Amino acid sequence: MAVQRGRTGTVAAVSALGLTAALAGCGLTGDSGDVTLKLVAADYGDSSANSSQKYWDSLAKEYEAKHEGVRVDVSVYSWSDVDRKVKELVEAGDAPDMAQIGAYADYADAGQLYKADDLVSIPVQADWISQLSNAGEVKGVQYGMPFAASTRLLFYNKTLFTQAGLTPPTTWDELAQDAQALKSEGVKYPYALPLGPEEAQAETMQWLLGGGGGYTDTLGTYSIDSTENTDTFTWLRDNLVAKKLTGPVAPGKLDRADAFAAFAKGQVGMLNGHPSLMGMAEDKGVKFGMVPMPGENGQNKISMGVADWMTAFKQNGHAEQIGDFLDFVYSEKNVLAFSRKYDLLPVTESASEVMSTDKRDADLKPFLDELPLSETYPVGETSWAQVSAAVKKRIGAAVTPTGNPAAVLSQLQATATSAQNTP
């Protein structure tokens, strides 16, 4: 998130690890023999008022009241820091019992994580949405437990579209035509294309899928420099960026958070967004619509999905207590409460069924509808972290007016191949 992952992901919404997690130690409190479970979690809130720390503290208090002898100590960090903080704790030999983070494959490959079926009950495992639980696997074994999810839709400013006499696009050519019309009306960002270092991997993947490509082929091998992907970024360069339809900030310099903020100010005609953008726009009084992201020849049949992950480290040996706590975390009641609080998609079938029919969740239904059709990052590859970082750093150069998409994608492919082949 990422679901931002911003997900962007992000989803974006951001989370990080708690400072007190560095004090995890052996996980025992005093001489009582009581177990203290250390959890590092990401912050999905956008202020102290709705910080994830409050959510987790309340959840831990409720659990502890029914489980004498077990304490749950939660530390929350922003998404900018969370993965780094967990890495530091693990490298210092002080791993938390659980970490709710964006990636897990490196830890699984190093033998540091419990398998999911060593922890949670069979009913909980069976309730996870299948493509998310499958995405949590490394070499066919599940280590990453899906915790939160999001998909992407094309957001458009209804007021600006009405003024320009437009209807939402269903193809890339229609999107470019709408962007040109918006530009003629003086719209600052006809289509906001955030390929800056914050979450470029998300915007990139959505466009690759729309062009019939992606980061990997059907066998899971990186195919970043495929003909389809090269054609996609050539189209972006020639039909949006070169025609100055992406706004005053170069795509490679535009971050997702800034693009969202501009949309909430009424300065953006269209952009690729996740559920958290709804609240931002509503708070500023922006009237918006949402439709599936256009593809090259029609509405994209495959959407980008983002999941954030719960992981459990073996170091302190609390498998039984971790599993019992996670069964509680993944109860329908708690999954619904978290998803509703942060405008995220539930990762369980039971909670999804409730939200798909409950009127209070009607604004999330378009995103829920996309989830079964979504494709996630190749997070099960230990190389993905390195590849994602390279995409964030380099992909913006592919769409500059003088950029060479084939050369940039070839460089990224070389990075991916090297990372995938490194033991």
pLDDT tens digits for 166-183?
Answer: 999 999 999 999 999 999
User: In this predicted model, what pLDDT tens digit does every residue of 258-317 receive, in sequence order?
Assistant: 999 999 999 999 999 999 899 899 999 999 999 999 999 887 778 899 899 999 999 999
Q: How would residue 20 be classed by pLDDT, with cut points 50, 70 and 90?
A: very low
The partner residues of 191 in beta bridges, in order of sequence, read 270
For 346-375, what is each residue's pLDDT tens digit? 999 999 999 999 999 999 999 998 888 889
Whether residue 8 has pLDDT greater than 60: no
Percent of the chain with pLDDT over 90: 78
Confidence of residue 33 (pLDDT cuts 50, 70, 90): low
**Please, what is the average pLDDT of the chain?**
90
Same topology for domains 4-151+306-375 and 153-292, yes or no?
Answer: yes
Measure the CA–CA gap between 377 and 384, rounded to whole angstroms.
8
How confident is the model over 64-88, as pLDDT tens digits?
Answer: 999 999 999 999 998 878 988 999 9
Position with higher pLDDT, 6 vs 153 = 153
Structure tokens at 316: 């302190």
Cα 377 to Cα 305: distance, rounded to the nearest angstrom? 8
The C-alpha atoms of residue 44 and residue 42 are separated, in whole angstroms, by 6
pLDDT at site 184: 98
Confidence at residue 423, expressed as pLDDT on a 0 to 100 scale? 67
Total-model pTM: 0.83
- Among residues 56, 98, 144, 82, the alpha carbon closest in space to that of 315 is found at 98
Say which residue, 6 or 61, is predicted with more confidence: 61
Residue with tokens 């992000």: 10
Question: Two tokens at 416?
Answer: 């991916």
pLDDT band (50, 70, 90) for residue 378: very high
Q: Residue ranges of the domains in the chain?
A: 4-151+306-375, 153-292
HEC string of the chain equals CCCEEEEEEECCCCCEECHHHHHCCCCECCCCCCEEEEEEEECCCCCHHHCHHHHHHHHHHHHHHHCCCEEEEEEEECCCCHHHHHHHHHHCCCCCCEEEECCCHHHHHCCCECCHHHCCCHHHHHHECHHHHHHCEECCEECCEEEEEEECEEEEEHHHHHHHCCCCCCEHHHHHHHHHHHHHCCCCEEECCCCCCCCHHHHHHHHHHHCCCCCECCCCCECCCCHHHHHHHHHHHHHHHCCCCCCCCCHHHCCHHHHHHHHHCCCEEEEEECCHHHHHHHHCCCCEEEECCEECCCECCCEEEEEEEEEEECCCCCHHHHHHHHHHHCCHHHHHHHHHHHCCECCEHHHHHHHHHCHHHHHHHHHHHHHHHEECCCCCCCCHHHHHHHHHHHHHHHHCCCCCHHHHHHHHHHHHHHHHHCC
Domain 4-151+306-375 has CATH 3.40.1080.10: no
Q: Are 304 and 206 in contact (CB under 8 A)?
A: yes
Say if residue 105's pLDDT is above 60: yes
CA–CA dist 187, 267 (Å, integer): 6
DSSP strand pairing (70-77 vs 16-17): antiparallel
- Identify the CATH number of the domain defined by range 153-292: 3.40.190.10
Assess whether pLDDT exceeds 80 at residue 30.
no
Give the per-residue pLDDT at 2.
38
Share of the chain above pLDDT 70, in %: 92
Query: Is the pLDDT reported for residue 16 higher than 90?
Result: no
Instruction: Report how far residue 301's alpha carbon sits from residue 316's, in angstroms, rounded to the nearest whole number.
Output: 44
- Check: CB of residue 205 under 8 Å from CB of residue 396: no
Task: Specify whether the CB–CB gap between 187 and 262 falls below 8 A.
Answer: no
**What pLDDT, on the 0 to 100 scale, is given for residue 100?**
96
pLDDT digits (tens, 9 = 90+) for 146-167: 999 999 999 999 999 999 999 9
CB of 143 closer than 8 Å to CB of 311: yes
Bridge partners of 271?
A: 155
Q: What is the token pair recorded at 65?
A: 């009241």
pLDDT for position 22? 33
Per-residue model confidence (pLDDT) at position 31 = 37
Question: Is the pLDDT score of 252 beyond 50?
Answer: yes
